[in-house]
Amino acid sequence: MGTISAFWNVALETLMEIVWVKIPRYLLEKGIFTDLDGWLPLPHYMWMCPALLGGVSLFIFYDWIVSYFYLMHPNISHDLHLDIIVHNSILCR
């Protein structure tokens, strides 16, 4: 179990290094992001990155999430599920 934890730790540290250090540095060097006085300051990466990665991961894993929901709640029909989503959404409040 300690070996799995060690590999997980290395994987997470490597991923965090890539996402929060190497990618912003690369984007800053290529001119996509600018310093604080430019048209797209680098601090905007702090909200853009989680939003984009969250959207991509939801696009990839949405079918698994919905399948798991129906597996755990077999008595709920698909139409009722959509009604629950629509009526509990921010747009309907």
Task: Find the DSSP H helices in 35-91.
Answer: 45-72, 78-87
pLDDT, one tens digit per residue, over 20-72 is 999 999 999 998 888 888 888 988 988 998 898 888 888 888 777 777 766 67
Q: What is the pLDDT of residue 21?
A: 92
CA angle at 43 for the pair 41 and 46, rounded to the nearest 5°: 135
Residue 66 has a CB neighbour count (10 Å cut-off) of: 12
Structure confidence at residue 93 (pLDDT) = 47
Nearest to 35 by CA among 48, 22, 46, 44: 44
So what's the pLDDT on residue 12?
92
